[in-house]
Amino acid sequence: MRAIYLTFILLLSVFLGGCTLFEKEPDTSVFYAPHADDETLSLGPSILRQIDKGNEIAVVLLSHGEASQSIKKINENLREKNMPPISKEEFGNSRVKEFKKSVGELGVKSENVFVHDLPDGEINENDVMKIMEEMNERFPEARHHALTYNDPHKDHAASGSALKKLVEEGIIQSALYYLPVQEFENLDFDDTYPVPDELTEEYRKSLGAYRVWKPDEGFYRIGYTSVESYFVEAWKYRESRWHR
């Protein structure tokens, strides 16, 4: 009996002390994808979890991804089909189209999709912080989701470190940091969000948005051409791995 009483007192003191043990999960979430495909490969299962709960979702693309070397392979494919090559700008615009199709398949409302054009390969932490502050004003009390600051990819890490700073400064109150699918076996995490069973088809279609080849409509299968193995891994795991 004494043990039960002491446990009750401990839990009560933790609650009154403001510990997040009893914190209600925010019903609005903002997700940040440094590049097109990050939103489905690494964040997609978590996005679907929020949609399944009926929560409001916003997804932010930070760059057009024009620095990707896969443009060379895309243009090779076009030449083989006797079609003209595309420019870096057209390539970046096509990546944005893939991104928008992908988040649409996940079920994100078009009015909650935001696209920026930070320099791919040189995403600056301060620039990301400005975007996050704007989103925090637009969606007050939301939880913010970014790739981890431990990510070996510097653009990914910049998004995570920007969010971490805003949390430390007290500007953003709630945040989670995600492992990129290609680092699942290399980085530590706290927990996972699997794809809800009833939304498995939505996840499959979201991944599939990056394998569409319709040059006349501006789709060049960029995602799968660039990192096909990541898509294979994402479908195998079908979960987001995160830490606080």
- Residue 4 in any domain: the answer is no
CATH classification at residue 138: 3.40.50.10320
Whether residue 93 is contained in a domain is answered as: yes
pTM of the entire structure?
A: 0.90
DSSP state, residue 17: T
- Please check whether residue 17 lies inside any domain of the structure: no
pLDDT score, position 23: 55
What domain range includes position 201? 25-243
Which pLDDT tens digit goes with each residue over 49-92?
999 999 999 999 999 999 999 999 999 999 999 999 999 999 99
Q: How far is CA 178 from CA 10, 36, 122, 149, in A?
A: 31, 16, 20, 9
